[in-house]
Chains A and B, each alone.
Chain A
Amino acid sequence: MSGRPMEAGRTLAMGENEAVARERPTVEAPFGRALARLGAARPEIVGLTADLGKYTDILPFRDAFPQRFFNVGMAEQNLVAVAAGLARTGLTPFATTYGVFASRRAFDFIAIALAHSNLNVKIIAGLPGLTTGYGGTHQAIEDLALMRMIPGLTVIDPCDAVEIEAATEAIADHPGPVYMRLLRGVVPVVLEPGQKFEIGKARKLREGTDVGIVSTGFMTERALDAAEGLAGRGVSVGVLHVPTIKPFDADAVADFAAGVGHVVTAENHVVVGGLGSLVVETLFDAGVSRKVTRIGLPDRFIECGSVPTLQARYGLTTEAMVATITGLL
């Protein structure tokens, strides 16, 4: 790996579709489509980016409403500050950048300029977790942990194209600051279309008794596939999808956990401070005694490499989940 020479000939496959679809239909740029649709009905919506418009799927909005779109250049602190100022005049800004830059570089601005004043700004954060092979500079592996510590900030990690579109509509209706992870490009359809996104609500997607997977983000697709595979081996696996990290649906998680033998958390994020930590805190508070196994990234910086290689190496693929859960039984 890094620091050691290797033989030439291997290609680092960058830029592949980030939420790996398994024979599922797909939608291209679901966030940008949803925002452009919303923009037509709601003149108060404005768009911003920090030199990543092309890479965060917001160009459909820019092309439809060029007078309501502002590219501030590579300046994420200013991106958030400008969005705060726009919100103070009654507008609803959607500001896009990568999760690493929003959560690390602009943290003070999200905390103070947005959340402290409860301003109506939506931060849309690309390249969540292990969806890029560019290493620690680009992989937002701890953004959920950072963002969930900010008082009053809503934090969302959607699982598919349907949910991204529904969540975009829901956060536009929600009068307050939001940090939403973005799945960009060609995004699979996992959930049934037509459901409204309810901020703060978990959704039980599959019943099961032996093992209960509590998942968020694109890990929910893999959890459903893993559960299906394990069912063929006689293992009953339930799936509770928790797209809203904050406010957290603690009641649903505690109820779900109480009905299964073993809890597994699955997140495209470091296992420290994110969904896994939230589930453990929740079960302890609720007095639900279950063993919890946390699937997610280790507490370390991840190397460069191709996304499929890295996701397999760190246990985020369906096959790896099946293996992990099989090992628990």
Chain B
Amino acid sequence: MLRNSPSGEADVAVLRRKATNLRRHMLTMARGQGAGYIGQGLGIADLLAALYFHELRYDPENLGWADRDRFLLSTGHYSIALWAALAEAGIIPVEELPTYGADDSRLEMSTLDTTPGVEMIGGSLGHGLGQGVGQALGLGVHRSDARVFVELSDGEMQEGSTWEAAMSASHFRLDRLVALIDCNGIQADGPVVLDMEPVADKWRAFGWETVEIDGNDMQAVVAALAGAREKNGKPKAIVLRTLPGKGVPRIEISEKSHFFRVDVSEWDGIIAAFEKSEGGTA
């Protein structure tokens, strides 16, 4: 059954509850191995809720549908957020989530495309946008009206291939392509090590129609996605300022938020606090 309609009205309250569910799934996953890239995942929970339960046109029972909208997660280590969304969308079983990162689990800490619902192998950063350009070009060759959404991150913009792809997208007038740039201010070595500001101006200079929003404000996320539907010959960039660990204060304040590991007993406390603050929204 087809999920979402491109012109449908967003019910922001419902999408917020979906984002809470995604965060709950991520906590379940991280508790399994005691660790994970949960800071990043929690930061983009609002975006993924808006995509999978409002903006993306896809069929959970026919993942290979040729005219589906594509979501490419370029930052493969954000997989925890993708697994949460795919579970909430009914594509992978919720019961499987605690296997995240375990030996032989298909819910890897960095995505492989053998797991249902994954459109590319992320993780070697700088790969996603170029593949999105190719998919957008290919959909044009097929005369499909499907769109392509590529998530990438602020640190990832340091990979030069990102800009090779950005140049080509505007050259080919790929208005069906939407870059979702998660600016959470952290990368492997800590706070962003190479200043990427002004981010939005860079994308504008490369010919992208660009907006900058609070990526944890559902209303803003939904509005930006709606604005990106315009068929005007320009690729669209949405710069999302997000908070790593958003919604889980213990993780928001962690200096280790690139990769977060604590004992199981502490996970139980984190989850209990989360459920208390989100009481009644499940």
Contact B141 A78 (CB under 8 A): no
Contact B165 A88 (CB under 8 A): no
Contacts A46-B141, A88-B119, A113-B121 known; A82 to B168 CB distance under 8 Å? yes
Chain B CB count within 10 A is highest, among A78, A81, A85, A116, for A85
Chain A residues with CB below 8 A from B171, complex form: 73
Task: Decide if A178 is an interface residue (CB 8 Å cutoff).
Answer: no
Contact B121 A91 (CB under 8 A): no
| Chain A interface size range | 20 to 34
Contact A112 B121 (CB under 8 A): yes
Task: Decide if B142 is an interface residue (CB 8 Å cutoff).
Answer: yes
B19-37 interface code vs A (CB 8 A; 1 in, 0 out): 0000000000000000000
**Contact of B127 (CB < 8 Å), options: A70, A87, A91, A109:** A109
Contact A81 B127 (CB under 8 A): yes
Chain A CB count within 10 A is highest, among B127, B136, B160, B164, for B164
How many chain B residues touch A (CB < 8 A): the figure is 30
Interface residues of B in 108-166 (CB under 8 A from A): 112-113, 119-121, 124, 126-127, 129-139, 141-142, 160-161, 164-165
A93 to B172, CA, bound (A): 17
Chain A residues with CB below 8 A from B135, complex form: 85-86, 88-89
Contact A70 B172 (CB under 8 A): yes
Interface residues of B in 155-188 (CB under 8 A from A): 160-161, 164-165, 167-168, 171-172
Chain B residues with CB below 8 A from A88, complex form: 119-120, 131, 134-135, 138
Chain A residues with CB below 8 A from B113, complex form: 117
Return A43 CB to nearest CB of chain B, in Å.
Answer: 9
Interface residues of A in 59-99 (CB under 8 A from B): 67-68, 70, 72-73, 75, 77-78, 80-91, 93
Return B92 CB to nearest CB of chain A, in Å.
Answer: 19
B215-251 interface code vs A (CB 8 A; 1 in, 0 out): 0000000000000000000000000000000000000
Q: Output the nearest chain B residue to A113 by Cβ-Cβ distance.
A: B127
Task: Decide if B66 is an interface residue (CB 8 Å cutoff).
Answer: yes
A30 to B47, CA, bound (A): 50
Interface residues of B in 76-134 (CB under 8 A from A): 112-113, 119-121, 124, 126-127, 129-134
A86 to B134, CA, bound (A): 5
Contacts A81-B134, A82-B130 known; A116 to B168 CB distance under 8 Å? no
A117 to B111, CA, bound (A): 12
Chain A CB count within 10 A is highest, among B66, B112, B131, for B131
Task: Decide if A169 is an interface residue (CB 8 Å cutoff).
Answer: no
Task: Decide if A108 is an interface residue (CB 8 Å cutoff).
Answer: yes
Contact B124 A78 (CB under 8 A): no
Contact B164 A75 (CB under 8 A): yes
**Contact of A85 (CB < 8 Å), options: B121, B126, B134, B167:** B134
A121-162 interface code vs B (CB 8 A; 1 in, 0 out): 000000000000000000000000000000000000000000
Contact A78 B133 (CB under 8 A): yes
A68 to B168, CA, bound (A): 16
Chain A residues with CB below 8 A from B134, complex form: 81-89, 93
A32 to B133, CA, bound (A): 25
Chain A residues with CB below 8 A from B137, complex form: 70, 82, 85-86
A46 to B172, CA, bound (A): 15
Chain B residues with CB below 8 A from A87, complex form: 134, 138
A238 to B145, CA, bound (A): 58
Return A148 CB to nearest CB of chain B, in Å.
Answer: 20
**Contact of B161 (CB < 8 Å), options: A46, A78, A91, A117:** A78
A89 to B132, CA, bound (A): 11
Contact A84 B131 (CB under 8 A): yes
Return A298 CB to nearest CB of chain B, in Å.
Answer: 32
Return B110 CB to nearest CB of chain A, in Å.
Answer: 11
Contact A73 B131 (CB under 8 A): no
Q: Output the nearest chain B residue to A116 by Cβ-Cβ distance.
A: B121
Chain A residues with CB below 8 A from B136, complex form: 85
Chain A residues with CB below 8 A from B112, complex form: 116
Contact B121 A117 (CB under 8 A): yes
Contact A91 B131 (CB under 8 A): no
Chain B residues with CB below 8 A from A70, complex form: 137, 172
Return B126 CB to nearest CB of chain A, in Å.
Answer: 7
A85 to B129, CA, bound (A): 10
Chain B residues with CB below 8 A from A84, complex form: 120, 130-131, 134
Contacts A89-B135, A117-B113 known; A77 to B130 CB distance under 8 Å? yes
A51 to B257, CA, bound (A): 42
Q: Output the nearest chain B residue to A111 by Cβ-Cβ distance.
A: B124
Interface residues of A in 146-205 (CB under 8 A from B): none
Contact A81 B130 (CB under 8 A): yes
Binding site for A on B (CB under 8 A): 66, 112-113, 119-121, 124, 126-127, 129-139, 141-142, 160-161, 164-165, 167-168, 171-172
What are 29 pairs between A and B in contact, CB < 8 Å? A46-B141, A70-B172, A72-B164, A73-B164, A78-B133, A80-B130, A81-B130, A81-B131, A81-B161, A82-B131, A82-B137, A82-B165, A84-B120, A84-B130, A84-B134, A85-B133, A86-B135, A87-B138, A88-B120, A88-B131, A88-B138, A89-B66, A89-B138, A90-B138, A108-B124, A109-B127, A109-B130, A113-B131, A117-B121
Other than A73-B164, A81-B127, give 7 A-B pairs with Cβ distance below 8 A: A72-B168, A84-B134, A88-B120, A89-B139, A91-B141, A108-B127, A113-B120
Q: What 4 pairs across the A-B complex have the smallest Cβ distances?
A: A85-B134, A81-B130, A89-B138, A78-B164
